[in-house]
């Protein structure tokens, strides 16, 4: 833990000096839609910082469960800005004993997207830009989540704050050459046999051009259907489908603790003797880095980090759960120009509307976490998870 905190202190010290969203386009690659409003959007102050959880690294070696968290677009820069804005503390930096880094380039481009970046994490292979759950030859590859179900008999789940058929959740659950085939990706979930599914995107489930109602099809297969946050705690059953908005979810401060509550419910429903594999995504860190809005970006990161805090508390008590936190890529070319730890203020500059090629962090906690220290290719993160599960 001390080595991690010293390394993080070096990084941070160098840096300090309502309702459903109607999408700009059905394509969630926000790069070409982002706009700048530097008068306010480059500054943020946190009035009420949150406290961190108190956890200790488990001493056991057995891995029964894997909880894999992805902060979409969350590079070292985003983490560091959030750390300053919360008064010099985050669960991911202060409570996870292992820190590594991941190179995110894909096979045909230096600057990757969520499709190829997420796929590398999911299947343990780099692939082409825009590819979802397939290798560079466009052949479907079983993800770690799918392998865990088929080989180990583990339960599986995904919970995100974007539409569930978007790139990152799709990387773990389905396959395809393009994120633009939104209806096709959504339809694959009917046969994907994922036990817990939560996100947005009802438009692609029950307002389809082919007339299908995928929600009714899932209910017919035994899924408990939830569409309101208030109904999440009481949900029961072996299969769960929660879709909360027509497209992506509202911003963090508007939507409420959806990611936290669905994560709690996922762990409750998935926990079993054979273990589970759960992927959690803080999807909209990326969206607001694309748009150059540091305040909303920070709140998305805080929502993600608070959820991580619950995961760490549960994993510490369980003792047999590996927790990994990383990102598919970094977004925005973010620079921290000014700030105050005491006042919890940041002033930043976004140098690009798109993604950038800087390495992203890898944090780990629990049995096997030491394997994630050091610098890795993104595909190696997926490979390490598989090897640990095989043992």
**Packed helices 144-152 and 114-123: angle between N→C axes, nearest 10 degrees:** 30
Provide mean pLDDT across the span 260-273: 98
Instruction: Please enumerate in sequence order all residues whose Cβ is within 8 A of that of 198, keeping only pairs 6 or more positions apart, or say none.
Output: 157, 158, 159, 160, 164, 226, 240, 241, 242, 243, 244, 262, 265, 266
Residue 44 lies in a domain: yes
pLDDT band with cut points at 50, 70 and 90 for residue 29: low
- The boundaries of the domain holding residue 200 are 2-18+33-390
Q: What is the rounded distance in angstroms from the CA atom of residue 63 to the CA atom of residue 129? A: 32
Q: Rounded to an integer, what distance in angstroms lies between the CA atom of residue 156 and that of residue 195?
A: 5
Q: Would you state the pLDDT for residue 27?
A: 55
Which position has the higher pLDDT, 212 or 22?
212
Q: Please say if 114 is a catalytic residue.
A: yes
For residue 316, the model assigns a pLDDT of 98
User: In this predicted model, what pLDDT tens digit does every residue of 50-64 receive, in sequence order?
Assistant: 999 999 999 999 999
Whether residue 28 is contained in a domain is answered as no
pLDDT digits (tens, 9 = 90+) for 79-138: 999 999 999 999 999 999 999 999 999 999 999 999 999 999 999 999 999 999 999 999
Band of residue 391 on the pLDDT scale cut at 50, 70, 90: confident
**Nearest-angstrom CA–CA distance, 342 and 346:** 11
- Answer yes or no: are the C-beta atoms of 280 and 66 closer than 8 Å: no
Looking from the CA of 312 toward its CB, the CA atoms found within 13 Å total 26
C-alpha atoms less than 13 angstroms from C-alpha of 118 in its C-beta half-sphere = 32
121 located within any domain: yes
Name the active-site residue from 102, 114, 143, 369: 114
With respect to residue 277, please indicate whether it lies within any of the assigned structural domains: yes
Please write the tens of the pLDDT for every residue from 337-363.
999 999 999 999 999 999 999 999 999
CB within 8 Å of 376: residues ≥ 6 apart: 100, 101, 102, 103, 362, 384
pLDDT above 70 as % of the chain: 90
Structure token digits, residue 255: 């939507």
| CB neighbourhood size of 27 (10 A) | 14
**Is 93 contained in some domain?**
yes
- Examine residue 23 and state whether it is found in any structural domain, yes or no: no
Measure the CA–CA gap between 377 and 362, rounded to whole angstroms. Answer: 11
pTM score, two decimals? 0.92
Q: In this predicted structure, what is the pLDDT of residue 30?
A: 52
Q: Can you give the CATH number for the domain in which 177 is found?
A: 3.40.720.10
Domain count for the chain, please give it: 1
Whether 6 shows a pLDDT value over 80: the answer reads no
């Amino acid at each position: 833990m001390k080595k991690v905190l010293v390394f993080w202190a070096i990084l941070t010290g160098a840096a300090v000096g309502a309702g459903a969203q109607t999408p700009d386009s059905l394509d969630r690659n926000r790069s070409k839609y982002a706009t700048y409003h530097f008068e306010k959007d480059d500054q943020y102050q946190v009035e009420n910082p949150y406290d961190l959880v108190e956890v200790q690294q488990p001493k056991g070696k057995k891995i029964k469960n894997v909880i894999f968290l992805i902060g979409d677009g969350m590079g070292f820069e985003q983490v560091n800005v959030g750390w300053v804005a919360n008064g010099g503390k985050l669960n991911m930096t202060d409570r996870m004993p292992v820190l590594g880094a991941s190179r995110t380039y894909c096979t045909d481009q230096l600057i990757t997207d969520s499709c190829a970046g997420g796929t590398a994490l999911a299947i343990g292979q780099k692939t082409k830009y825009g590819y979802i759950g397939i290798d560079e030859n466009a052949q479907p590859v079983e993800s770690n989540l799918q392998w865990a179900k088929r080989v180990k008999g583990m339960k599986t789940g995904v919970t995100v704050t974007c539409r569930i058929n978007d790139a990152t959740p799709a990387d773990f659950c389905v396959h395809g050459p393009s994120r633009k085939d939104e209806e096709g990706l959504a339809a694959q979930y009917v046969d994907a046999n994922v036990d817990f599914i939560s996100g947005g995107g009802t438009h692609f489930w029950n307002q389809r051009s082919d007339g299908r109602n995928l929600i009714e099809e899932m209910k017919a297969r035994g899924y408990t259907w939830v569409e309101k946050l208030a109904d999440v705690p009481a949900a029961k059953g072996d299969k769960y489908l929660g879709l909360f908005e027509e497209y992506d979810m509202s911003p963090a401060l508007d939507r409420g603790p959806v990611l936290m509550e669905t994560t709690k419910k996922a762990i409750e429903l998935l926990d079993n003797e054979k273990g589970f594999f759960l992927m959690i995504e803080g999807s909209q860190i990326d969206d607001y880095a694309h748009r150059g809005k540091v305040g909303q970006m920070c709140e998305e990161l805080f929502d993600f980090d608070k959820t991580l805090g619950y995961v760490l508390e549960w994993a510490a008590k369980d003792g047999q759960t590996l927790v990994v936190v990383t990102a598919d890529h970094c977004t925005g070319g973010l620079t921290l120009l000014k700030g105050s730890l005491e006042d919890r203020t940041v002033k930043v500059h976004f140098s690009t509307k798109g993604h950038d090629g800087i390495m992203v962090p890898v944090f780990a906690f629990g049995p096997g976490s030491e394997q994630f220290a050091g610098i890795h290719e993104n595909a190696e993160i997926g490979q390490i998870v598989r090897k640990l599960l095989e043992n």
